[in-house]
Amino acid sequence: MSQSPLRTPLEARAWLERHGVTATEWARANGFEPAVVYALLSGRTHGRRGHAHHAAVALGLKGGAPDGETPPLTSAAKTATTPKLEKASHANEPNSNFAGGPVMS
């Protein structure tokens, strides 16, 4: 796996500037909130989790997970089972299309 060298926030800002792209334009084009990108570029956040982590990887501030490594939540989601909830049958209640009214047929 070939990985490019990581950038500092200052280098990432210079990279955007060299290409004539604002942080807001880059954020929107890559599906991130501009505030998250500005927080990364200013050093206010380090992108440890969630959207900030994904933006930091995309900016080159952090390395991504190794190829083929399964994310922790992906494996947990596959093994977890969700119990099915069954609706209780109420024989004496009228059926309705909206709250408080009977079904008109």
Please give the pLDDT value at position 88.
55
Number of neighbouring beta carbons within 10 Å of residue 21: 13
**30-89 pLDDT, tens per residue?**
999 999 999 999 999 999 999 999 999 999 999 988 888 888 887 555 555 555 555 555
- 94, pLDDT greater than 50: yes
Would you list the domain boundaries of the chain?
A: 9-64
68-99 burial, b at 16+ Cβ within 10 Å, e below that, comes to eeeeeeeeeeeeeeeeeeeeeeeeeeeeeeee
**12-47 pLDDT, tens per residue?**
999 999 999 999 999 999 999 999 999 999 999 999
- pTM, entire model: 0.64
